[in-house]
Structure 1
Amino acid sequence: MLLAIDFDHTLIDENSDLWVKRLAPDGKLPDHIEAMYSSTGWTDYMGSIFKYLYDIGIREDDIRKCMEEIPLTEGMADLLKYCKDRSYEIIIISDSNSVFIDMILDHTQIQNMVTKVFTNPAYFDDTGCLRIEYYHRQDWCDLSTINLCKGNILQSYIEKHGQERFDYIFYIGDGTNDFCPALTLKETDYVCPRINFRLWKKIQKLKNPEYKESKEELPKLQAQILNWSSGLDILEQIKQLE
Structure 2
Amino acid sequence: MATTVLVTGGTGHLGRHVVRQLIEAGRTVRVASRNKPPAEKILDHEWATVDYRSRAGLDAALLGVEVVIHCASGSPRGEAESIAALLSSGKRAAIKHLVYISIVGVDRLPLGYYRAKFATEKALIASGIPWTILRTTQFHDLALTMVRLGCRLPIGFVPRGVRLQPIAVGEVALRLVQIAMEPPAGRVTELGGPEIRTMCELATMYLTSAGRTRRVVRIPFPGRFARGLRKGYGMTPDHGDGLQTFAEFLELGPAQQ
Query: What is the TM-score of this pair, normalised by structure 2?
Result: 0.34
> Which structure has the highest helix share of the two?
1
- Tell me which structure has the larger Cα radius of gyration: 2
- Scaled by the length of structure 1, the TM-score of the pair is 0.36
- Greater strand share, structure number: 2
